Amino acid sequence: MSRLYVARNPRVAARSLDGEMMIMSGRDSTLFTLNRTATILWQAADGATPLDEIVEHKICPEFDVEPAVALHDAEALARELAGHEILQVSEQPIPPRNAPSGESR
């Protein structure tokens, strides 16, 4: 099975509020809030780390969940966020875009 890579869409605005991300869509100014799991995924989505590694190293240690179940859920979540243009999902590593970029706090 091919690996998935996820990257934050540089067009969105994002800020952490009490450990949960607020995301403003760059497409239509819709506001989203991410729960803690989705926030972990968002923060780890650097385009270079495969999703399964993010799940193994960042999500599973935080939650009492089977890795296979967690990966399945994370894939579904990543695709949903990609549908809102919050995340980019690819079967290849995603190179960083020129601007705007940077980590969100």
Partner 1 sequence: MSNLMQEVTEKAMALGVPLAVQVDLTYRCNERCVHCYLDHHDHGEMTTTEIKHLLDEMAEAGVFILTFSGGEIFLRKDFFELLEYARQLKFCVKLKTNAVLIREREARRIRELGVESIQVSIYSHRPEVHDAITLIPGSLQRSVEAIRFLKSQGLKVIIANVLMIQNRQDYPAVRALAAELGVECTLDPTVTPMMDGNRSTVSLGVGHSALREVFRDSSLVGDVDEFCAIPAKADETGLEAIPCSASHTACYVSPYGDVFPCVQFPIPTGNVRRQPFVDIWRHSEQMNEVRSIRVKDLTTCTHCSHGSSCTRCPGLAYMEGNMRGPSSQDCEKSFARTGIPSANMLAKKLAAPNLIQIQVAQVQPPPLRPLPTMATATV
Neighbours of 76 (CB within 10 A): 10
Q: Which amino acid is at 68?
A: A
Map residues 72-101 to x or -, x wherever contact with partner 1 holds by CB under 8 A.
Answer: ---------------------------xxx
Q: Report residue 16 CA to chain centroid gap.
A: 13
When asked if residue 33 is in the footprint of partner 1 (CB under 8 A), the reply is yes
Token pair 């940077």 is found at 102
Of 36, 25, 29, nearest to 87 by C-alpha is 25
From the list 14, 40, 54, 78, which residue makes contact with partner 1 (rule: CB under 8 A)? Answer: 14
When asked if residue 22 is in the footprint of partner 1 (CB under 8 A), the reply is yes
Residues within the interface to partner 1 (CB under 8 A): 10-18, 22, 24, 26, 29, 31-33, 99-105
